Chains A and B, each alone.
Chain A
C-alpha cells in the first residue's frame, strides 16, 4: 500500500530564508510523486512532479524537490521564501501511470514572517 508522511505539520520561516518541507513516502510500485500547494479558500495547484526522469525536479515559483529512493524521501525546497509562499503544501504519491487515485500527506502549513 502506498502512503505519504509529511514530517512537519507547521513550518515557519522568515522572508528571504530557505524553505524545507519534508516528505517520506512508501510505495510498492515505482511511484509518481507530486507537491501541491493550496492557498486559503482555493483549490490545489501543482508545484512539481517526479515521474522517473531526473531525480532533481524543478517546479514553479522557484521550488524544487529531490527524489531519493534510498531514503524514500521527496523533500521540497526553495532558496529564499517570499510572503506569497505562505500556504499549505501537500506531498502526494500515486502509482505510476495512474493519476486518478492520489494519496495525500496530511499537509504542511508554511508561515512566512516579514
Chain B
C-alpha cells in the first residue's frame, strides 16, 4: 500500500507570490491534516479535512487555506508569501480515530 505522497518535495518562491502544495493520502483514508514545521515554532497544526470539509483549524492567518477533493487528495495554498513562511509542510492521513501517517513533506523556501 502506498504511503502519503506530497508534491513537490522542494519549492523556492519569492515574497508576495502564492504557492500550492499537494497531498495524496493513503488509499481509504478520509482525514487529511496539514502541519508546519519550523526550527523556532516546532510542529504546528494548520488544518484538518474530512470528506471534503474542514473539520479543525489551527491558529494561522487567512493566507493559509486548504481544500480536499472527493478522492481525499488535499491541497494547501499560501498566498502573499512572507519570509517567515519558509518551513517544512507535512501532510498526514488517518483512518477514523487511528494513528496519523505522515508524508515526507514539502520544503518551502521563501526568498
Report which A residues bind B (CB closer than 8 A).
32, 34, 36, 42-46, 49, 90, 96-107
* Chain B positions 1-53 with a Cβ under 8 Å from a chain A Cβ: 4, 31, 33, 35, 42-45, 48, 50
The residue on A at minimum CB distance from B49 is A100
The residue on A at minimum CB distance from B9 is A41
CA–CA, A42 to B4, complex, Å?
A: 12
Contacts of B64 in A (CB 8 A): none
* Chain B positions 50-86 with a Cβ under 8 Å from a chain A Cβ: 50, 55-56, 58
Evaluate contact between B100 and A99: CB separation under 8 angstroms.
Answer: yes
CA–CA, A104 to B90, complex, Å?
A: 13
Count of inter-chain pairs, beta carbons less than 8 A: 57
List 17 additional contacts besides A36-B102, A104-B35, A105-B42; criterion CB under 8 Å.
Answer: A32-B97, A43-B90, A43-B105, A45-B102, A46-B99, A46-B100, A96-B97, A100-B31, A100-B48, A100-B50, A101-B33, A101-B56, A102-B45, A102-B100, A104-B42, A104-B43, A107-B42
Contacts of B35 in A (CB 8 A): 102, 104
Report which B residues bind A (CB closer than 8 A).
4, 31, 33, 35, 42-45, 48, 50, 55-56, 58, 90, 92, 94, 97-105
Contacts of B4 in A (CB 8 A): 43
The residue on B at minimum CB distance from A98 is B97
Q: How far is the CB of A23 from chain B (nearest CB, A)?
A: 14
Evaluate contact between B102 and A99: CB separation under 8 angstroms.
Answer: no
Evaluate contact between B42 and A99: CB separation under 8 angstroms.
Answer: no
Q: Which of A46, A102, A106 contacts B33 (CB 8 A)?
A: A102
Q: How far is the CB of B17 from chain A (nearest CB, A)?
A: 24
Contacts of A34 in B (CB 8 A): 99
Q: Which of B33, B50, B94, B102 contacts A43 (CB 8 A)?
A: B102
